Chain A
Amino acid sequence: MSERRIKWSYMDHWRSNGPAGPVDQWHSHRTMSAFLKQIKAVGFDAIDTFDFRLWQMYGDYGGPAGYQQMVQDHGLERIVNTFHAADYDLRDYAPHVPETHERILEDFRVTMGHWSVIQLDNIIVMPATLYYDMEPVTADKLKITAELWNQVGEITAGYGVRLTCHHEFFCGIQSEPDIDTFYAYTDPRYVSLFVDTAQHCIASVDPVALYRRHAHRVSGFHFKDTRDVATGDDHRHRPDSEIMAPTTGKWFYEMGTPHGLVDFEAMMTAVRDNEYRGWISVEHDKANKDGGDFSEATAVARWYAANVLEEIYR
């Protein structure tokens, strides 16, 4: 049996029905075990987490190593990537504002220190503040942003972890030209691209074409789907685009959803053509909105990976 070129990781979003209403998997050991069992049962190989889970890991599992042990006890390999979900704010934490850079760098030094007890592949970031806090997006701002992430990437590289950028449709760097410019300013040794299929589609950027253009910079993927493209001011809706934008209250769906806009077969073909070997992360945040269900969405997404995508490349 030939070695698998692609393995699948599941990204930290989950709700189940507790006696007092919906809870996430971190609610208790029991809910965490039920979550890990379900992820494993449908055939995922590993998980990704948000990095703010560190505090729950310390509080409930003795830290990232202890938590990873629990993950492994359920038959999953490890934690592959962590997503650094920062509270961007122009006053003290904004990649295009140089005065905030030292604070950001210190944040990453501390964060990487916490995670150093296990081996991660990537630390994933949204590389810019909300769009409405960055616009107008100028070449200067892109340059300053790129310089910051070069420095952060150097810090993370010291821990053997790749700093990789994930472009939300509502973040400052979301259009095709801006993305290209940004990567031109960054150092390939220290800054990678993490392709989120839905986020790009929503922003009217073809994720397959983007991937083909920057394949040598790509260190991972979020495979998720959407049914809507952002129109008008969706991407800069105040105070929030992700949940409050007029076009829809539910931007994200599991891959293979009916009327989905992402061409996953083309995406997988591109992954094969570029001989990418490694992890693909599956994500469908807020799957429980509008009558959805995390267990089912996850099962159906893994079915799609097994029955459609792995037929193309495995």
Chain B
Amino acid sequence: MTGIRWGYAINQWKPQFDDFVRREQHERALKTISIAGFEGVELTAGTGRWEPLGNPQQLAANFGSFAGFREFLAGCGVPAVSSFHYDPQQRSMEHLTGPLSPLAEADVPAVVARAVWFAEALTQLGGSVLVVRAAPSAGDDEPLDDAALHRLAACWQTVGRATLEHGVRTALHVDFLSALRSGDALDRLLERTEPDLVGLALDTGELTVAGIDPLSIVERHGDRIRYVRFKDALAVDEAEEYRQPHAEYAVRQRGGTREIPRWFGEPGIDGGLVDFPAVTRALLAARYSGWIVFASDPSPHPAASALLGGYVMQRELRPIANGR
């Protein structure tokens, strides 16, 4: 048997800021996740009163306490929160702060405080990983030179140390717009950080769109992987449009010059590019033990995406993980 546990990311149910605010909607989504065979839910950090699952303050305001939220989850058949996905560049209405950057030394204490805020919640919710956006988008800043990588490493070391005190691992998430996508920036960042303190998040979808074979990452950094996201990819950013400014809008949301209608989908989606059985086997060979969280990102049919992902997990991938 394996220590791998299967979770599902909740973000696909909230396409617009005023969606997915009411309790009964959460209940339906969580029950869907549960019956699809998943044993944990990943929450996405958000801010304000229309993000009731977005951060510890909102969870407490809506459920009374973390225990209250955990009870609600259990009532839906979901035993735990696997992880929180946190991007420091998102502003916080709770803290009245604007975007924070891991590249800005002055912002590090606030980033650490925010990370601990989430980590404390995670420990009470059965979770074990804080997934962080490791670097800003390539198009919005200078390329990462040595000094920048040094600052990044320092930031995440400090964060990793702080979250570990709460039994929560920090895992660096590299998305296809990230400045860490270019050259050997990721390798160099990992070199400068201690394996015990700073882990790597393997996101099959983001890597594939970035033109990086997830298997190559498992091969090179298998021992650093502390979190896995299984997301399928429907196109590759071969033209490297990620280098444009405001790529979040022009490329991720609008699909770049080719107007890619969807970059991502649930594992096994028609036209998907990721070889999930191969990645699963590679992770086993690297002795990965931890959460594998399924995601589809925005989907025209969130519930259907969850069920289709569940099918792939139950029929193909979990048997592999369990040694069959």
A contacting B, Cβ–Cβ less than 8 Å: yes
- State whether A19 touches B49 (Cβ < 8 A): no
A291 an interface residue at 8 Å Cβ cutoff?
A: no
B22 an interface residue at 8 Å Cβ cutoff?
A: yes
- State whether A15 touches B62 (Cβ < 8 A): no
A4 an interface residue at 8 Å Cβ cutoff?
A: no
Choose from A19, A24, A238, A240 the contact partner of B300 (Cβ within 8 Å). Answer: A19
- State whether B93 touches A239 (Cβ < 8 A): no
Contact with B along A232-243 (1 / 0, CB 8 A): 000000111001
Contact status of A87 and B93, CB under 8 A, knowing A15-B16, A20-B298, A239-B49: yes
A89 an interface residue at 8 Å Cβ cutoff?
A: yes
Residues in B neighbouring A59, C-beta threshold 8 A: 246, 249
Choose from B15, B16, B62, B253 the contact partner of A239 (Cβ within 8 Å). Answer: B62
- State whether B254 touches A27 (Cβ < 8 A): yes
B58 an interface residue at 8 Å Cβ cutoff?
A: yes
- State whether B299 touches A240 (Cβ < 8 A): no
- State whether B299 touches A21 (Cβ < 8 A): yes
- State whether A240 touches B50 (Cβ < 8 A): yes
**Which of B15, B261, B299 has its CB near the most chain A CB atoms (within 10 A)?**
B15
Q: Whole-angstrom distance between the alpha carbons of A23 and B52 in the complex?
A: 21
Q: Whole-angstrom distance between the alpha carbons of A57 and B43 in the complex?
A: 31
B3 an interface residue at 8 Å Cβ cutoff?
A: no
- State whether A286 touches B50 (Cβ < 8 A): no
Q: Whole-angstrom distance between the alpha carbons of A89 and B302 in the complex?
A: 33
Q: Which of B281-310 contact A (CB under 8 A)?
A: 297-300, 302
Q: Whole-angstrom distance between the alpha carbons of A21 and B246 in the complex?
A: 21
Residues in A neighbouring B49, C-beta threshold 8 A: 239-240, 244
Contact with B along A167-197 (1 / 0, CB 8 A): 0000000000000000000000000000000
Q: Whole-angstrom distance between the alpha carbons of A93 and B168 in the complex?
A: 35
A28 an interface residue at 8 Å Cβ cutoff?
A: yes
- State whether B61 touches A238 (Cβ < 8 A): yes
- State whether A249 touches B22 (Cβ < 8 A): yes
Residues in A neighbouring B298, C-beta threshold 8 A: 20-21
Q: Whole-angstrom distance between the alpha carbons of A24 and B249 in the complex?
A: 13
Residues in A neighbouring B109, C-beta threshold 8 A: none
Residues in B neighbouring A238, C-beta threshold 8 A: 61
Choose from A19, A22, A28, A244 the contact partner of B16 (Cβ within 8 Å). Answer: A22
Contact status of A27 and B253, CB under 8 A, knowing A21-B15, A239-B52: yes
Q: Whole-angstrom distance between the alpha carbons of A22 and B19 in the complex?
A: 10
Q: Which of B227-266 contact A (CB under 8 A)?
A: 246, 249, 253-254, 261-262
Shortest distance in angstroms between A104's beta carbon and chain B's nearest beta carbon?
15
Residues in A neighbouring B24, C-beta threshold 8 A: 249
- State whether B254 touches A28 (Cβ < 8 A): yes
Number of interface residues of A (CB under 8 A): 23
A91 an interface residue at 8 Å Cβ cutoff?
A: yes
Q: Which of B52-69 contact A (CB under 8 A)?
A: 52, 58, 61-62
Q: Whole-angstrom distance between the alpha carbons of A17 and B16 in the complex?
A: 12
Residue of B nearest to A92 (CB): B96
Residue of A nearest to B299 (CB): A21
Q: Whole-angstrom distance between the alpha carbons of A28 and B254 in the complex?
A: 7
B21 an interface residue at 8 Å Cβ cutoff?
A: yes
Contact with B along A275-308 (1 / 0, CB 8 A): 0000000000010000000000000000000000
Shortest distance in angstroms between B90's beta carbon and chain A's nearest beta carbon?
14
Contact status of A20 and B18, CB under 8 A, knowing A27-B253, A240-B50: no
Q: Which of B5-19 contact A (CB under 8 A)?
A: 12, 15-16, 18-19
Q: Whole-angstrom distance between the alpha carbons of A33 and B93 in the complex?
A: 33
Contact with B along A1-37 (1 / 0, CB 8 A): 0000000000000010111111110011000000000
Residues in A neighbouring B253, C-beta threshold 8 A: 27
- State whether A21 touches B96 (Cβ < 8 A): no
Contact with B along A186-223 (1 / 0, CB 8 A): 00000000000000000000000000000000000000
Q: Whole-angstrom distance between the alpha carbons of A23 and B62 in the complex?
A: 27
B75 an interface residue at 8 Å Cβ cutoff?
A: no
Q: Whole-angstrom distance between the alpha carbons of A59 and B244 in the complex?
A: 13
**Which of B19, B52, B61, B262 has its CB near the most chain A CB atoms (within 10 A)?**
B19
Residues in A neighbouring B21, C-beta threshold 8 A: 240, 243-244
- State whether A19 touches B62 (Cβ < 8 A): no
Residues in A neighbouring B16, C-beta threshold 8 A: 15, 22-24
Choose from A87, A92, A244 the contact partner of B48 (Cβ within 8 Å). Answer: A87
**Which of A15, A21, A22 has its CB near the most chain B CB atoms (within 10 A)?**
A21
Q: Whole-angstrom distance between the alpha carbons of A28 and B58 in the complex?
A: 32
Residues in B neighbouring A91, C-beta threshold 8 A: 96
- State whether A20 touches B62 (Cβ < 8 A): no
Residues in B neighbouring A24, C-beta threshold 8 A: 16
Contact with B along A86-123 (1 / 0, CB 8 A): 01010110000000000000000000000000000000
Q: Whole-angstrom distance between the alpha carbons of A21 and B48 in the complex?
A: 23
Residues in A neighbouring B12, C-beta threshold 8 A: 21
Q: Whole-angstrom distance between the alpha carbons of A92 and B92 in the complex?
A: 14
Residue of A nearest to B57 (CB): A239
Choose from B22, B93, B254, B300 the contact partner of A244 (Cβ within 8 Å). Answer: B22
Contact with B along A241-273 (1 / 0, CB 8 A): 001100001000000000000000000000000
Shortest distance in angstroms between A5's beta carbon and chain B's nearest beta carbon?
35
Residues in B neighbouring A18, C-beta threshold 8 A: 261, 300
Residues of B in contact with A (beta carbons under 8 Å apart): 12, 15-16, 18-19, 21-24, 48-50, 52, 58, 61-62, 93, 96, 246, 249, 253-254, 261-262, 297-300, 302
Apart from A21-B15, A239-B49, list 5 A-B contacts with CB within 8 A: A19-B261, A24-B16, A243-B22, A243-B50, A244-B52
* 7 closest residue pairs by CB, A with B: A19-B261, A20-B298, A21-B15, A239-B49, A243-B21, A240-B49, A21-B298
Pull 7 A–B residue pairs with CB atoms less than 8 Å apart, ordered by A. Answer: A19-B261, A20-B297, A23-B15, A89-B93, A244-B21, A244-B52, A286-B18
